[in-house]
Amino acid sequence: MIQRYKKGSRMSQAVSYGGLVYIAGQVAENRKAGIEDQTRDVLGKIDVLLKEAGIDRSRPHRRRGLPAGDRRFRCDEQRLSWLDRRRKPAGPRLP
C-alpha cells in the first residue's frame, strides 16, 4: 500500500511503498546561510520525514543530489557525520 507524508496541493514530501521511502527534494529554509547550515537543515527535514514513515537513517537505499565544486565537499562533511557509516547507500560520490 502506498503511504504519503506531508501532502501538499501539488505533491507529497515523501511516499513509501514496498518497504522503501522516496523523499522529494528538500531545500533549506534559509538559502542565504552557509552550505554547512543548509545541509544540516535539509538533513533534519529528512530525519522528520523518515520518522513519520516509521524508519530511520540506518537503512539507506540510495541518495542523490549535492551541490557542485567546493560547496560539495563542505556539504559532504555534514552528510557523512549524519550517515551511518556502516550502512552506506548506493549512489555516486560516496567515500
Could you state, in order of their start, the residue ranges of all structural domains in the chain?
A: 29-82
Most confident of 9-18, 25-34, 49-58: 9-18
Q: What is the pLDDT of residues 34-64, one digit of tens each?
A: 888 888 898 899 899 999 999 887 776 665 6
Extract long-range pairs of 37-44: CB within 8 Å, 24+ residues apart: 38/75, 39/74, 39/75, 39/78, 39/79, 40/78, 43/78, 43/79, 43/82
Q: What is the pLDDT of residue 25?
A: 87
Mean pLDDT of the chain: 78
Which among 29, 95, 28 has a CA at the least distance from the CA of 67?
28
* Torsions phi, psi for 28 (to 5 deg): -65, 145
State the cell numbers at 16: 513509501
Q: What is the pLDDT of residue 16?
A: 92
Strand, coil or helix: 44: helix
Give pTM, 2 decimals.
0.70
